[in-house]
Amino acid sequence: MKKLLFLAVFMLATAVTYAGGYRVSLQGQRALAMGHTGVAVVNNAELGFFNPAGLVYLENRLNVSAGGFGVLADIAYQNEQTGDVARVNSSVGTPFYLYASYKVTDWLTAGLSVYTPYGSGVEWEDDWAGSHLVNNIDLAAIYIQPILSLKLNEYFSVGGGPIYVTGSVNFNKNLNRTLSDIEGNRSEVTVDASGVTNWGWSASAMFSPTDNMRIGFNYRSEIILEAEGGDADFENIPNSPATPFADTKFNAELPLPAELAVGFSYEFCDKWLFAFDYNQTFWSVYESLDIDFANPAIPDSQNARMYEDASTYRFGLQYEANDMFSLRAGYYFDESPVQEGYFAPETPRNDSNNFTGGFSVNVNEHLAIDASFLYIRFKEVDASYDFYFENGQAVPFSGTYKSSAFVPGLGITYKL
């Protein structure tokens, strides 16, 4: 267990994941295969993320689910006026999850969940056309959450628990569009903070009015990652009193927004299960990415974001072909939190259509292998970021973006 966690953390450290906003909806193979629905699905320990209240309905005493994903994402940028073209290095990241639950009594289940709901990795070519906004960013957050799930009666259960978050961020951008040292190397800054921690919580409920229908509700609180005393490393600064950019410390806040999920599931024809989830992510907390440098001679970096709350509509279907195989498919529509004029290439996200599929293979009565895939298709979009300033004048960065991502995942479900 400890070894697995270590391995997972290590993988995350090198992960470059694709994410819109920076929410990474990859919290379970079975859920993802069904359009990442799950707030009203009682299937396996993935409930430890989707709806802790449902854990108490799992039949086995011990339930464990673990897995990871490879993220193969591509972002392309072009500007017809100038002929500039950029493609983000295709990269493989590994978001992961680990859920365990233990039925203490018929009406009480305890659990532990470890998952990575936020993260981002975009690595543009250094000094590309938008390098004054971002060269590369790597954001990771691990949620660790002890859980209690309580059955109040035959129809109704509640669950939840405190969340401990540890996160890291590494962000590099050029200082502006033109500043460089005598050799022509562009002046840049890297801000790096790791081991940033904070607490939050989640609470959930599940209502099962009939044998084949469930209704779920889950709320996960907002958690602000407050990076204090991170390292700001300035490179390629001209040797001039007019550019006093020396390495210093910085403070910054990055919000991991609250999320609300409601949904229902319905079993029909014995082998079929339909699920629908509605998610609201409260992105409006993300107004600005402000980096306060400790050195007073260095102007602070203020980057307006003005995200809006965003909705996601998820649909999933499961078919239990036989004792060995379960097949799943799903679709979700993911609304972008980014307003017009705030399209920053650090999280180049517009509305997306998402197609999912997957299956489980029961190796024996205890162990199942779960596989899933996700294909994210973004519409081509002409967008701009209008809140970068030079000498007090707004200098929009615009172009056409087109993104796609393919995310294969593999995991196991163990029950005893």
Partner 1 sequence: MKNYIKYLPFLALGVISCEPEFDTPIDEAGFYSNGEADFSNYVALGNSLTAGYADGALYLTGQENSYPNIMAQQFAKVQETQLFTQPLVNDNAGGLLLAGTQITSNRRVLAFGPDGAPAPRVYTGMQPTTDITNVLSGSFGNMGVPGAKSFHLITPNYGDVSGVPVGSANPYFVRFASSPSTTVLADAAAQNPTFFSIFIGNNDLLSYASSGGTGVDQTGNFDPTTYGSNDLTDPMVFASAYSTIVNTMVGTGADGALVNLADVTSLPFFTTVPNNALVLDAATAANLTGFFQAVAGIFAQGAIQQGVDPAVAQGLAAQYALTFNEGPNRFLIDVPVSQTNPLGFRQMTADELLVLTIDQTALAQGYGSVVLTPEVLQVLGLLQTGGQPTQAQAQLVLGAVSGLDDKDALDKDELTAISTAQANYNATIKALAQANGLAFVDAQAVFKQVATQGVPFDGGVLTTAFVTGGFFSLDGVHPTPRGYAYLANIVLDAINTTYNSTVPKVNIGAYKTITLSNEVQ
Contacting residues toward partner 1, per CB under 8 A: 70, 72, 74-76, 78-83, 85, 87, 90, 129, 177-180, 182-184, 238-243, 361, 363, 369, 371, 373, 378, 380, 390-391, 393, 395-396, 400, 402-404, 406, 408, 410
Q: What 3-state class would DSSP assign to 2?
A: helix
Closest distance between partner 1 and the C-beta of residue 381, in Å? 11
Give the DSSP per-residue string, 20-61: BTTB---S-HHHHHTTT--TT--SSTTHHHH-GGGGGG-SSS
At CA 107, angle to CA 160 and CA 158, rounded to 5? Answer: 30
Of 103 and 173, CB closest to partner 1: 173
User: Measuring CA to CA, how many Å separate 342 from each of 345, 383, 388?
Assistant: 9, 8, 10
Of 62 and 179, CB closest to partner 1: 179
Of 170 and 384, CB closest to partner 1: 384
Closest distance between partner 1 and the C-beta of residue 290, in Å? 22
User: Measuring CA to CA, how many Å separate 295 from each of 77, 174, 191, 202, 244?
Assistant: 35, 18, 14, 38, 9
Of 210 and 391, CB closest to partner 1: 391
Q: What 3-state class would DSSP assign to 4?
A: helix
Closest distance between partner 1 and the C-beta of residue 361, in Å? 6
Of 179 and 304, CB closest to partner 1: 179
Task: Work out the burial of residue 322: count CB atoms within 10 Å of its CB; fewer than 13 is exposed, 13-18 middle, 19 or more buried.
Answer: exposed
Helix, strand, coil content of the chain in percent (nearest 5): 5, 60, 35
Closest distance between partner 1 and the C-beta of residue 390, in Å? 4
Of 214 and 328, CB closest to partner 1: 328
Of 215 and 368, CB closest to partner 1: 368
Closest distance between partner 1 and the C-beta of residue 129, in Å? 7
Of 41 and 189, CB closest to partner 1: 189
Residue the block writes with tokens 């997972």:
8
Check if the beta carbon of residue 224 is closer than 8 Å to that of residue 189.
no
Closest distance between partner 1 and the C-beta of residue 374, in Å? 10
Neighbours of 131 (CB within 10 A): 22
Of 203 and 412, CB closest to partner 1: 412
Check if the beta carbon of residue 4 is closer than 8 Å to that of residue 66.
yes
Residue 399 region by backbone torsions, left for phi larger than 0, else alpha for psi between -120 and 50, else beta: left
Structure tokens at 135: 């060269």
At CA 11, angle to CA 277 and CA 99, rounded to 5? Answer: 40
Closest distance between partner 1 and the C-beta of residue 175, in Å? 12
Task: Give the whole-angstrom CA distance, residue 100 versus residue 65.
Answer: 7
Task: Give the whole-angstrom CA distance, residue 413 versus residue 279.
Answer: 25
Closest distance between partner 1 and the C-beta of residue 136, in Å? 19
Of 83 and 296, CB closest to partner 1: 83
Closest distance between partner 1 and the C-beta of residue 215, in Å? 34
Closest distance between partner 1 and the C-beta of residue 75, in Å? 7
